[in-house]
Structures are given as C-alpha cells and as structure tokens.
Structure 1
Amino acid sequence: MSRRYFGTDGIRGRTNQWPMTAELAMKVGMAAGKHFQRGSHRHRVVIGKDTRLSGYMVENALVAGFTAVGMDVVQFGPIPTPAVALLAHSMRADLGVMISASHNPYADNGIKLFGPDGYKLSDEDELKIEAMLEQDIALAASPDIGRARRVEDARGRYIHAVKSSFPADLRLDGLKIVVDCANGAAYQVAPSALWELGAEVIAIGVTPNGVNINDGCGSTSPLLCQETVVSSGADIGIALDGDADRLIVVDEKGQIVDGDQIMALIAGNFARDGLLRGGGLVATVMSNLGLERHLMGQGINLERTKVGDRYVLERMREGGFNVGGEQSGHMILSDYATTGDGTVAGLQVLAALVRAGKPASEVLHQFDPVPQLLKNVRFSGGKPLEHEDVKRVIAQAEAELNGCGRLVIRPSGTEPVIRVMAEGDREDQVKDVVERICDAVVRVAA
C-alpha cells in the first residue's frame, strides 16, 4: 500500500496547505486515538511541540481529535522530540505526539507519532492510521469524551533524564560551552542541563518568537555558533535543530564536526570501554567512506541503511546495536533514548572531552573524510530517475567510481527534490560525476 500522508518522519508540509491543515490534524488525532485504544483502561496521549507559530493551531486540532474519540490528552508545551518519546513511556501513555517540522523553516510543520514504548510507529501502524483517515471514525459517547490538561514540570523531568546519561564521576566545571538551540524546542532544557552539570554556558538561539526557528541558527546554520565559539573563547559549541533530535558540534577553532565524526568518537569510546553492542554502529548510505575505513581499522563494523533515522533505529533494534546515527547529526544512543537526542549525544561528546583533557580540535576530528559532494535538484513532477537518459548517465558514473568511491542518488522523503551524492578519492572526479547527473535530471525534468 502506497503512502499518501506519512513520509520518512511522520506527516510534514507547509502549514495551511494540504496535508498540514488543522482539518487533517484533527482527523489524525481521531484516527491515531482510535487505533491505539487497546484494552479497557483510560487511554492517554502526550503531546509536545516546538516553537513554531502554527504549533498552537495544530496542537488544538489534535487535542480536539483525540478527545473526540475518548482519549485523554496531556500537553507539555515546547519540549524536544526525544522528551516526548521518553515521557510517553514513563507516563504510561498509549501514544506520544510531537508537533514539529524539525530543521525546516517556521512555515512548515509536522506530526510525529510515538507508540507506548517510546519508539516511532512501525510502517504497519502508520498505514493503518492512513487508511482510517479516509474513513468515518466513530466518536465517543458524550460521557466518554476525553479530558485535556497541561503538565508544567515536563521540562524538569526531561532535564533529569538527560543528566542521568552523563557519567556520574564527571563534571563540566571549567568548560565554556556555546549551545545554539535554534530558537526551537530545547531553548530552555539544553542550557539548563549543561549549567546544572557545572559548565559556563553561553546560550544562543534561545529567544523564539514563532517565526525564527532554524532561522540563521542551529545545526543547519552553524555559522552563528562558529562565530560565537571563536569570539567568546569557548571550548566547544553544540548546535541543535528545531526539535533537538540532532546536533552538530563546533571545536574551539570554529571548525564544524559533523555526525560522522561524532559517531566515530562515541563508537570508538564505547568499544574501548566494552560498551559497544552489535559489533559496530549503524549509519546511512550518506555517511562518508572515510568513516567506514576508520572504523574498519579499529575492528568496528559499519552497517548502512536508507536515509532516515527511523531506518537506522530499525536496524539497531534488529541487530542489537546501541550506537547509530546520520551524518546530518541525528544520533541514536539506545542505552539512553528511544530516538535521536541531540542533547544526550552532546553530553557524550563532552564526557570524551573532559576525560581526554585536550582541546576539542584534537579530540573530535577522528578521521579525514574523503571528498564528498551532495547536490539537490528540485523537480516539478514525474519520475526523473526512471528516465533512460538519466539511467545511462548514472550507470556511467557508477562504472567510473567502481573501487574508489560511492554514488548515492535518492528522492527526498519530505520534498520534491532528488539528492545526488558522490564521494571518492579524487575530488575532481566526484564533482564531475555529480554535475553530470544533476544536469541529466534537470534536462528530463524540465
């Protein structure tokens, strides 16, 4: 069954345009609420959101849908995605909902769903909810309509959980840390967690106004974090995205440390401490070939999945891995969280920094990446990758890179874009291959 609403990370789109409308949000609440009414207990859903202006609208629509089918609602307000996953499980909820479009601009929004175990929904559950969106859904009898309430200490509960992931024998005293919260969901919790562990905190991206989330700040726009680290003489910078499930790190020189380097650091440390499970780590096809070679040198396997943290997590659960993530900064450390958590991963990086007693630039740059180039080609319709001319150019490129590089071409799961990535030992060859494929896609998509 093909998907109409759910993409690689829930339902996402431009607000007040299909499918991200209040009408559909209410129907999602009704369908998901009905689907997760299992057993005779009083059913409960917990809802968090980031700081987008449209969050109020989507939240109210979801609350209406859930209560209409007899499910009680607990509202957290602005809180990171991993906090919703954590609290859904700890509060014995039947369902968790995060209202966020992650790293997208404020005009977009999305709905992410978590099951009672704190994990993102399976494909099977999503398809069943999709099918219900096309049907009439039975409403609760008047006496059985759900109730809604707000919980004010949700952020405190999450801060406690985050701090518990940091080694008990370490403190952050003496470290000056820049934390960029992208004017998003972690604008209160991330600086507080770092301060409570003893750090001197310089917080930026902590003045959300509904329209400035991810705007010139955060993990997708790290320049502000880089400049602040250098100008303030900080030891390290941590940049989160709008819903705080990913991070990018900046060393004391202002250099960016991406998800591949972070995974190499954490997996290597876990392996040396005998804590790495599954025999390696799980990443996506987008992770740099240099990471794979670096891990092989340490006897650590790298397993690759399709792009999307849900696919990384699925493989982690199947294979018993406890470290996984994406080059973009999604880090899943299953010993501490059931989904990507930028703050938890950041604390593991800081623990490594404290133990090493060396500058971040010496600790965090684990390997030299091979030349890699990613370009996005936007198209208006059709299936350019199925065109014979494009197939021919791709086949030629694969033959040229055979043995010395990789080629990854995929349509985006959230927007009409084809992503073309190549990497190899020769930068000029990588650039030439990507440009030829992009040109071919543009020609047939015009």
Structure 2
Amino acid sequence: MMLAQEIIRHKRDGHSLQRAQIDAFVRGLVDGSWSEGQAAALAMAMFLKGMSSAETIDLTQAMTQSGVVMEWASANLPGPILDKHSTGGVGDKVSLMLAPIVAACGGFVPMISGRGLGHTGGTLDKLDSIAGYQSTPDTQRLRQALQTAGCAIIGQTAELAPADRRLYAIRDVTATVESVALITASILSKKLAAGLQGLVMDVKVGNGAFAASQAMAIELAQSLVTVANGAGLPTRAWITDMNQVLGDSCGNAVEIREAVEFLQGKRRETRLLEVTRRLSAELLLIGGLALNEVQALHQVDTALDSGAALERFARMVAALGGPADFVERAHHYLPAAPVQMQVVAPHGGWIGGMATRAIGLQIIELGGGRRRASDSVDARVGFTQFVQVGQRVEAGDVLAVVHAADANAAKNTSQVLLALIQIADQAPASAPVFITRLPA
C-alpha cells in the first residue's frame, strides 16, 4: 500500500510520479481513501511542479480506466467512432452542426459535452432548451441513438471517468484549474472513456477564450495532441480565434435556433461556417472517410446542402426524447424571452473589436449561465443579430438584440453591451479564424 502523504511529498519535491503512484492516487479519488485535503495537496504539487508528458499520459489513462470505458465493437457500427472538443468560447455552437455533418458522412459521434463553465456556454445547457431531450441517457438509449442518427450529444454519466469528476471539483475550489497537464488529463480521460478512434481539438485563443495568449494556446494544444496520441487516440488540434462572438447569437435556446437555421441553410455566419466546415473535414480525414482535404470539404458541403446533416440532427433529437418534428417547428418548441430589445449604434464606423469574455458574462447576468453549480439556467435569454468585427455600421443600426426575462434586465444589459462593442473610425485589419494546426 502506498501512503498518500509519501506520494504528495515525492511530487512536492519535484520528482516525476511513477504509474503505480498515479494509480494509487486515482484509486483514492474514486474509493474515497484519499481525503479532500490530500487530493488538493497533490493537485497543487502537480500544478506548481508541472507534469511530464509521460506522467500526463499515465494520469489520463488511469482516470479513463477509473470507470466504464465504452466499447462499440458489439454495436456493429459501419464507420469510425469520432469526436471533436472545443476549449470553449462565446457563441461556440460548432458541435451542434459538426456531429450531424460527420454522421451524414459516415462517421459515428458519441459526443460527451459539458455544462457552461465560467463565461463560456455549455453545449448541454443549449440542448436542455429542447423539451424532452435526455442529455444523460442510459447506455442502451445512447447506442440506439447512434445507430439511428449516427450522433448523440450527451453529458458525462456517473460511470464515465469518475476520478475526473472528483478531481475537477477539488481543482475548481483550490485554484488549480489552470494547469495544462490537469486540463489535458481531464478532457482526454472523458474522450478516451467514450471509446473514440479519432479526435479533433478546437483550442480557442483570444479575449473570449480560456487561453488568452497564443503561447498558452499552443502549449495546451501541444499537450492535448501529444498525450492523446500517446494514449492511443489519433488526434489533431486547431488553434482558432475567439476575439469575437462566434456566429450571430449567444445564449441557449437562441443558439439552438441558429444551429437549426444553419443546417437548414437559412443563415450561415461566415466565420461559424468556416470553423464548422474545416473541423468536420479534419475529422473525416482522421477517420479515413476522405482521401484529402478537397474531398473532405466537398463531402461536408454535400451533407449540408442536401439536408442530410439536418436530417441527422432531427433523428438525434427524436432518439434522445425530443420532439419528432423539432427541426420543422423549432420556433414553436424553443422557449422565447418575453422582452427583446435592440442595441443600436450611437454613431457610424466599423466594428473594431469587442470584449468577448465580458459579453459571455453578461449572459450569466441575464440568467443564461451559472454563478454556482446548483443554479438553474434560463434557456430563453441571450443575444441575437450580433455584429461581427470589421462590419460597417451607421448610426441607428442594430449591434445586437438582447433577449431578457424583464424590461429592467434588458435595459441594463443594453447599456453594458454598448460599452463592450468598439466602433472605430477605420476598418480593423482582418484576422484569420484558423491560426495554427498541430501537428503542422
């Protein structure tokens, strides 16, 4: 038996942990033999002393194996098991379109998503705005959804990577969240537990991202790619821009509406389309469903323009308990805020930039996110018709529409938003959405 305090001392003094020590720690997280204080002490030692790639791979694999690891061989799915993960941003609804696109192209996507975290919206909170949608189905229902729709966007169940759930809760209250090694192990343990055969990572960088600097984004992307591939999961990462709202809406129900209209071809904001197309194509290449990038992008465009991706989304919603006619009547089913207020430009110019993180926090102020884990979310609130950086506006043009629970909240938020959107005298230099690919 390994003493917890000796493992903590070993890491505190700057030594690398052996796999047996990491296994003992992970076992202790799950069976409760490590106290909160001991787990917190080791997390802090890991945070301060750092973790090698070998240690991070060992921690990731140990946390993966702390619970159920899904196997798909018995389901006889005629295609690769693929997924995408984003480090989070404001208005980032790419998963909602990517999963059905990849499914329409022959992949199978059991996507384990999360709730809102800090200023970023959670994919599960968005899907919860669809009445009846079961975001934590049992294994049998998940398998049925995959066989029916080819994709299922769900939450982490109690059986998947339970060590990660406990460690994350401890990190959240002990200022050890921002460790690249611990972030890597947390993300990838859940992905490996889903039984994946290919993964694409979208690492956001900018004023609306967890990684504010390019150096931090590259460090995180490099860690994710190295550890995932080291653990046997073929993975590529893209670093993408998050210095503005992605798409033209942010919130919960409003983002589901944008995703449906995107799949229907009614509105496809340029940057959102670029991110969705490229990441979907990357997954087709990883999964061997396309021979080259040109072919992969053509398959993605065909899935969108033929309505095949929309059909997969509709099947997924129905298979997971939502309305069978959801995509035809999304406006009928999605909850709408009682107050909608336009925020208009006080003068003409170009949208020079925006305080993206602060915009995300405003959604929490409206009730569309959580201050505490126990808070309920108001699916109705958020922003639509959001302007894009580089756009020309005249005095009186709409910068955004605030969707709020009451007139007071709408008015207060409108005034705050005006200060968060910069109107410049000249057009800003255009910034690419895609910055770096790893491996290059």
| Higher RCO, Cα 8 Å, sep 6+ | 2
Q: Which has the higher strand share?
A: 1
Q: State the TM-score, normalized to the length of structure 1.
A: 0.26
Q: Which has the higher helix share?
A: 2
Q: State the TM-score, normalized to the length of structure 2.
A: 0.26
